[in-house]
């Protein structure tokens, strides 16, 4: 039995066509490269998200706050005019 085991281990395995192995290697290398690219992109996107979240959580500047107040007042005035128009229609 030891001889049979020894023969199995020492006999070369015939390789007829290994083109499939080369194609597989190329696909694995391409996939690995793409994974590295995606990791880099993921890191950049996470940093961008952190930057944007910091901007959102930062207190508004006086200029930005003033614009919000102006816009709110403009909307309030337009709504008030629409209400007056509708009330005028219901009175008649």
Q: pTM value? A: 0.46
| 68, 60 Cβ separation under 8 angstroms | yes
| Residue with more model confidence, 23 or 11 | 23
Q: In which band, very low, low, confident or very high, does the pLDDT at 66 lie, cut at 50, 70 and 90?
A: confident
C-alpha 13/C-alpha 45 separation (Å) is: 49
C-alpha 29/C-alpha 31 separation (Å) is: 5
Contacts of 68 (CB under 8 A, 6+ apart): 60
């Amino acid at each position: 039995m030891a001889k049979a085991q020894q023969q199995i281990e020492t006999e070369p395995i015939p390789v007829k066509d290994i083109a499939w192995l080369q194609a597989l290697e190329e696909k694995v290398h391409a996939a690995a490269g793409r994974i590295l690219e995606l990791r880099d992109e993921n890191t950049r996107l996470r940093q961008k998200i952190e930057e944007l979240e910091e901007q959102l959580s930062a207190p508004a500047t006086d200029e930005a706050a003033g614009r919000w107040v102006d816009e709110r007042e403009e909307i309030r005035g337009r709504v008030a005019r629409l209400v007056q128009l509708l009330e005028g229609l219901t009175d008649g």
